[in-house]
Amino acid sequence: MAADRQHIFIPWTVQECEDPVLEFAGAEGVYFRDRQGRRYLDFLSQLFNCNLGHGNRRVTEAIKRQAEQACCISPQLLTAERSLLSDELTALVPGDLDKCMFVNSGSEANELAFIMARMVTGRPKIFAKYRSYHGTTFNTLGTAGDPRRMAVEPGPAGSVRFFDPYCYRCDFGLTYPDCGIHCLKALERQIELENPSTVAAVVVEPVTGAAGGFPLPEGYLAGLRDLCDRHGILLIADEVITGFGRTGAWFGVNHDSVVPDIMVMAKGITSGYVPMGAVVVSPRISGHFETRMLPIGSTYAASPLATAAARACLVAYQEEGCVENARRMGQLLMDELQGLKQKHSIIGDVRGKGLLTCLELVTDRATRQPLAPPVVDAQLPIRIRRRAWAEGLHLLARANLLMIAPPLIVTPGQIREGMEQLSRVLFWLEAEVRQQREQQTVPVSPAPLPAS
């Protein structure tokens, strides 16, 4: 542990705050354990990626078999496995999305999507929501609106941000659905003012991940598709978290029957067993590169181990009924979270889709005052995460959000187990908040003694 702290960066944190760090020692199904043998319920699928849970034999055996055949194949050579994976993936995605480019991560996939969109349209701008995260490279971090972008500001030229359909805290002070999705009209006005012929693409996550934890309201994505079409703008769906059953459908866009021009995927494509990302594009995009140079690629694109893992995952998702289970368990999880809201006044909002859910924590339900500021180095989330670990629960705490996204194989019993652990964490948190409030209201000088 000491060596870890000395030589290893822990991502997305002030380094000295991450002490101690939980030491992962092994895992099975929806549980993992640490070096001391303590068991944790993995209510985050590690980092929204371990959709099949830990130790799926179908996937580990496929990786082993491939490792014995070949671990290293040039991305410029075709393999039967890669061709089959492309066939299977393009059959799964909606509409006319028909050509795949494999990479190593979600960041890389978004990076490539932005480059392709700019090349195909000849336009420089990419629009992204304020509450969004698209990756950790200069372009993806700097284009997204999440506060982490500040590390690279002023960021990449051509990145433009717009207001989200974040209904719990509407930037326009309106209420859905009476608002008529006003934020979409505001986006169109913004695009007009920016000059549509300079806008290459709009990128959205069908359900915002750690940057806000909210689904797009019904009607938004279809409206956005229409808006993009009217202005010749490409729609990029970042399905890095939402893809592969997470929301109770194969892809997040399926809920709205919308077909993007570019679909970006990673995480669940291999259930996180081997790093992989992919960009799947429509003929408008792929056609462009038939006669022009495709200037992008990666040595490890479609590594055979990742390809084998991805193919085995697709079979597992289908044969183990994971998408359907995510839909059913997602409903149960949502009901249970609503039940928790009755018990815990600290919960301001409960939202999500399928097994991608979020609690927004507030100090006061009436004012919706956030429990922690939306800054990246807030201390409270680290303490919440540790407290959850002490209860044997692994979840994501960020600013005033708690995100819960168990593996798609989760059972009703495990959901209820997690809810009991979570409730204990929330009781602790409420006591902490009460204590802090009392300390703040204690007068600086002692109160005068009552007159005798």
The closest alpha carbon to 48, from 272, 362, 288, belongs to 272
The answer to whether 372 touches 183, Cβ cutoff 8 Å, is no
The stretch among 24-32, 106-114, 184-192, 390-398 that binds ligand PLP (CB under 6 A) is 106-114
The closest alpha carbon to 412, from 329, 336, 321, belongs to 329
Residue closest to ligand PLP (Cβ)? 106
Contact call for residue 133 and ligand PLP (CB under 6 A): yes
Six-digit token string for 259: 């077909």
Using CB under 6 A, count the residues that bind ligand PLP: 14
What kind and span of H or E run contains 183? helix 182-194
Name the residue nearer to ligand PLP (CB basis): 347 or 385: 385
**Nearest-approach distance from CB 107 to ligand PLP, in angstroms:** 3
Measured between alpha carbons, how far is residue 117 from residues 130, 199, 394, 412 in Å? 20, 10, 37, 42
**Nearest-approach distance from CB 209 to ligand PLP, in angstroms:** 4
Instruction: For residue 27, give the 3-state DSSP assignment.
Output: strand
Question: How many other CB atoms are found less than 10 A from the CB of residue 231?
Answer: 15
Beta bridge partners of 24: 34
Name the residue nearer to ligand PLP (CB basis): 32 or 133: 133
Question: How many other CB atoms are found less than 10 A from the CB of residue 244?
Answer: 28
**Nearest-approach distance from CB 403 to ligand PLP, in angstroms:** 10
**Nearest-approach distance from CB 357 to ligand PLP, in angstroms:** 15
Name the residue nearer to ligand PLP (CB basis): 50 or 429: 50
DSSP class of residue 29 equals: B
The stretch among 75-83, 102-110, 173-181, 295-303 that binds ligand PLP (CB under 6 A) is 102-110
Among 45, 56, 107, 247, binds ligand PLP (CB under 6 A): 107
Among 42, 81, 188, 205, binds ligand PLP (CB under 6 A): 205
Residues 6+ apart with CB under 8 A from 417: 41
Stretch 227-286 residues interacting with ligand PLP (CB under 6 A):
238, 240-241, 266
Among 66, 86, 136, 286, binds ligand PLP (CB under 6 A): 136
Six-digit token string for 452: 């005798």
Contact call for residue 353 and ligand PLP (CB under 6 A): no
Q: CA–CA separation, 406 vs 427, rounded Å?
A: 22
Among 129, 131, 134, 394, binds ligand PLP (CB under 6 A): 134
Contact call for residue 110 and ligand PLP (CB under 6 A): yes
Amino acid at 73: I
Pairing outcome for strands 234-238 and 262-265: parallel
Contact call for residue 126 and ligand PLP (CB under 6 A): no
Question: How many other CB atoms are found less than 10 A from the CB of residue 38?
Answer: 13
Name the residue nearer to ligand PLP (CB basis): 24 or 172: 24
Site string for ligand PLP, 394-423 (x = CB under 6 A): ------------------------------
Six-digit token string for 170: 């509407």
Contact call for residue 51 and ligand PLP (CB under 6 A): no
Binding site for ligand PLP (CB under 6 A): 105-107, 110, 133-136, 205, 209, 238, 240-241, 266
